[in-house]
Amino acid sequence: MNSLDSEKSVSANESANAAFVSSVCVPLLRNQQNEDGGWGFHPQAESRVEPTCWALLELMQVESSARDRETVQRGLQYLRSTQLPDGSWPATPGEKNGCWVTSLACWALCREEHGPVARGLEWLCKDWPWDSSPWQRFLRGLTAERSISTQNDAYRGWGWTPRTSSWVEPTSFALLLFSEVPETVLPSGSRKRRQLAEAMLYDRMCPGGGWNCGNPRVYGVPGEPLVIPTVWALLALRKYANRVENQMSLDWLLRAVQNAQSLASLALARICIETYGKSWPLPETRLSPFYERHGFLTNVAVTAWACLAWNPRPRLFTSSGRGRA
Amino acid sequence: MRDQGAALIPSFQRPASRVAIRRAESYEEDLGTLLYETLREFQLPVRGKTVLLKPNLVGFDPLGVMNTHPSVIAAARESFLRLGAAQVLIGDGPAMDRDTEGILESVRLREHVGGLKNVFVDLNTDDVKCVPLPTRASRLRELYLPKTALGVDFLVSMPKLKTHHWAGVTLSLKNMFGIVPGGCYGWPKNVLHWAGIDRAILDINAAARPDFAIVDGIVGMEGNGPIQGTPKRSNILILGDDPVAVDATCCRLMGLLPEKVKYLPRAGSFLGHINSEMIQQVGEDIPSTRSSFAVLPAFRHLVDEHSSFGRRAAQKTG
């Protein structure tokens, strides 16, 4: 195949994928909204905050009709109705404690209104992980645990759930939120939290670049990076795109995506790689056959990520890291 | 719906448990027949029932030592169907990576099982139900658990025979961490670590006790498990109707003392038997199938120093 044929083929794939997303994926997302306005992780599943946020982030990008706007408004109302009195959001209905989905809910809401978002941000800024508290660090210094890992516990991000440890993905989600909301909405303590969290992410990077859940080295053995945590960390740190750690991790991602076997990894990697201004390295990827083999549309979050990755429109993230709200 | 409260009372009484050890030289053997014949001996009440197989799926595993091997999972599924089960589901909630589909593809489960649609359940994103914990081993008082795991008639824990750098060993009881949904608690399910791994193991198994266990010990892992350890070939499958007894037997097969694994003696007081006198051994015997597993220095106290295997293991761990 000569270069002209190759370009035509790439262009045909991109068009086919965009058509698949707009004709199959987006309608599926619309149709999977529950009566209460939220989305479950799977069709007919009960509404949860996380899949609702991913579906909304996609549908807010494409809303074009009155029906779309109504779908989005019902989704946002679901989020408003599930916020807990302390400003956080729970992972599942009935749960009385908030968790990492608070960042996602604020992110989805922040383009519409700032009241609930400000309360969510307040909660996030008060939610300190326990592993890095002075008392825990003192205790760890007395035990054999200090030899297990080499991470710097002075850096603090966010845990998946309150009163636990800092991890890469929830920390990245909080940083992404901070970069999306206007400065005027950010609480006073947010600058310090952001600096500590960014330092924590760099500290938790795997030795050759990339991130896993947050264990770069255990018992002296380097941890293996994973695509999804690497994507979120790179997006959270995108304003430092030229730092050597970012470039190493981006290089790792560009290599790793060649072997990615799921649409979740492919879609998120594509969002990240394009946000960093690089060309998508797998132009031959075709969503339709991928779906026939894997049936990924049964997962609302993955469907939303695929839409966000292949819909031809402004990217989810600006490369600079300041919100578009 | 499974009876949540049954057999959980601390002063439990149950007849002797049965544990079978079967030799299997490789994953290419006819594991379907081997498992079917063995399961038939147990006369399990699965006819017309829904069975959930809960393997240990961790991540990309080119050496086949980290995850329950797909051929064992497929053989177990086929066997339960042959025994008359109406439906045999496979479900897990990987702890370290939320890309369940990527993990399933990397372990080639689809190829072995022949399609996963309506067969595999991602327990990380399943609908959940709040379950008050019937025990108070940890400070956890309730957990949101997947409705699929709570709703099936017969739950089978299918771990890999591995050492673990936090818990000492990871077998059928520890494998149940995988039913705790990442969609509620994250990746990893760090709340369980903060509650105390050993204690959380007891609480989870009291809330959703496996009815049966099948351990993949054809190739396991020693040393810095459950992810970064060294492959360890034992060429055995261990099956039993009491996950505590199965885990105790596995420890003995690994040259480790079950009484020294933090959570096992407590599990032995209310969940099942660890005393070998209360475990009816069928199939191969322990001495002829035992092989010493190296452990990290922090777990050297687990090594059975009185066996020749144990002495060797102690030397290996330094």
Average pLDDT over residues A95-124: 95
> Does the distance separating the beta carbons of B194 and A165 come in below 8 Å?
yes
The interface residues of chain A toward chain B in range 96-135, judged by CB-CB distance below 8 A, are: 99-100, 130
Task: Give Cβ neighbours of residue B102 (< 8 Å, ≥ 6 apart).
Answer: A227, A260, A261, A262, A264, A265, B60
Measured CA to CA, the distance from residue B314 to residue B312 in angstroms comes to 5
Average pLDDT over residues B99-119: 92
Whole-model pTM? 0.93
Average pLDDT over residues B198-220: 97
Q: Helices A300-310 and A3-20 meet at what angle, rounded to 10?
A: 140
Q: Considering Cα of B19, then B23, then B28, then B32, what sign does the dihedral take?
A: negative
What distance lies between CA A101 and its chain's CA centroid?
Answer: 10
Strands (E), B93-211: 120-122, 128-132, 142-146, 154-158, 160-164, 168-170
Point out the least confidently predicted range of A48-57, B160-169, B235-244.
B160-169
Measured CA to CA, the distance from residue A164 to residue A159 in angstroms comes to 6
What distance, in Å, lies between the first and last C-alpha atoms of chain A? 44
Q: Residue A179 is which amino acid?
A: S
> Does the distance separating the beta carbons of A100 and B186 come in below 8 Å?
yes
Pick the residue with more confidence: A221 or B5? A221
Point out the least confidently predicted range of A5-14, A208-217, B13-22.
A5-14
- Find where tokens 């996602």 sit: A104
Question: Is residue B314's pLDDT more than 70?
Answer: no
Contact residues on chain A for B121, CB-CB shorter than 8 A: none
Note the pLDDT tens digit of each residue in B251-271.
999 999 999 999 999 999 999
What distance, in Å, lies between the first and last C-alpha atoms of chain B? 49
Neighbours of A263 (CB within 10 A): 24
| Residue A74 CA: distances (Å) to CA of A56, A71, A80, B24 | 10, 5, 10, 56
Average pLDDT over residues A286-310: 85
Contact B294, B230 (CB under 8 A): yes
Contact residues on chain B for A48, CB-CB shorter than 8 A: 183
Question: Is residue B209's pLDDT more than 70?
Answer: yes
Question: Is residue A160's pLDDT more than 70?
Answer: yes
Of A218, A221, A264, the CB nearest to B101: A264
pLDDT bin (cut points 50, 70, 90) of residue B310 is low
> Does the distance separating the beta carbons of A95 and B184 come in below 8 Å?
yes
Average pLDDT, chain A: 89
Tell me the ipTM for this assembly.
Answer: 0.92
How do B142-146 and B50-55 pair as beta strands? unpaired
Measured CA to CA, the distance from residue A49 to residue A39 in angstroms comes to 8
**Residue B214 parent element (H or E):** strand B212-222
- Cα distance from A322 to chain B (closest Cα, Å)? 27
> Does the distance separating the beta carbons of B183 and A91 come in below 8 Å?
yes
User: Reduced to 3 states, what is the DSSP secondary structure of residue B291?
Assistant: coil
Residue of B nearest to A229 (CA): B97
> What does the pLDDT read at residue B198?
95
> Does the distance separating the beta carbons of B106 and A261 come in below 8 Å?
yes
Contact A289, A145 (CB under 8 A): no
Of A164, A228, A294, the CB nearest to B98: A228
**Token pair for residue A167?**
């991890």
Q: Considering Cα of B12, then B14, then B16, then B21, what sign does the dihedral take?
A: negative
The interface residues of chain A toward chain B in range 214-253, judged by CB-CB distance below 8 A, are: 218-219, 221, 223-224, 226-228
Neighbours of B45 (CB within 10 A): 12
Contact residues on chain A for B228, CB-CB shorter than 8 A: 218-219, 221, 223
> What does the pLDDT read at residue A208?
93
Average pLDDT over residues B217-240: 95
> Does the distance separating the beta carbons of B165 and A219 come in below 8 Å?
yes
pLDDT bin (cut points 50, 70, 90) of residue A291 is confident
